[in-house]
Chain A
């Protein structure tokens, strides 16, 4: 099984900050990686697929990069609506999620 490791597990930031979350795969997954945002009590919402493709309707402040085993999700200027938990997901071989990164208000 492919393991996905996300870090940090918690991130404290302020509105307007640039935020970066990292996801590392235990073996190469090419660009078969997605990112999701989840708010408490809600289903996850797709942000990024194929490592860097932004889903329709997602604000342009969200971007993704990476390939192989190392990936990042960047929020260029954190907005109040962005405080949530973020998950990466590999779909190169079956599917696995990272353990999540909670973005908190500093």
Chain B
């Protein structure tokens, strides 16, 4: 079965960076994309960006342009999301999700990771 297993919780200071991993299994990794979505405490879902596991193409939400980098390692079927210059309002649960789009812009998300709590606090 499809599984997306994310790395554990992180506590960071303002100005630092965080890198969250998402290990995929149970499907052909390069046939899909990965989108990253975050959810601040008590708030709704916010799409951050998408990466094609097929060719490495990325689309980032304008809000995160210049501050986020998404990558994949096809040899380990793992996706990564790095967010830099962290602020307190980056405190959220960060989800990876399997995106049905292989090589173009993002699509819909049919499987999700369990979420990674990132806390930004001085």
Mark each residue of chain A from 26 to 51: 1 if its CB lies under 8 Å from any CB of chain B, else 0.
00000000101010000111100110
Distance, CA A38 to CA B39, complexed state (A): 11
Interface presence of B77 (CB below 8 A): no
A87 touches B45 (CB 8 A): yes
We find that the number of chain B residues with CB closer than 8 angstroms to chain A is: 24
Interface presence of B114 (CB below 8 A): yes
Q: Which residues of A lie under 8 Å from residue B80 when comparing CB positions?
A: none
B47 touches A44 (CB 8 A): no
Known A-B contacts A43-B115, A46-B110; the reply to A95 vs B44 at CB < 8 A is no
Q: Which residues of B lie under 8 Å from residue A91 when comparing CB positions?
A: 101, 105-108
Mark A residues whose CB is within 8 Å of B.
Answer: 1, 34, 36, 38, 43-46, 49-50, 55, 87, 89, 91, 93-100
Q: List 29 A-B contacts (CB under 8 A).
A: A1-B62, A36-B109, A43-B95, A44-B37, A44-B45, A44-B95, A45-B112, A46-B108, A46-B109, A49-B108, A87-B45, A89-B45, A89-B47, A89-B109, A91-B101, A91-B106, A91-B107, A91-B108, A94-B47, A94-B50, A94-B59, A94-B106, A95-B35, A95-B47, A95-B106, A97-B37, A97-B44, A97-B46, A97-B47
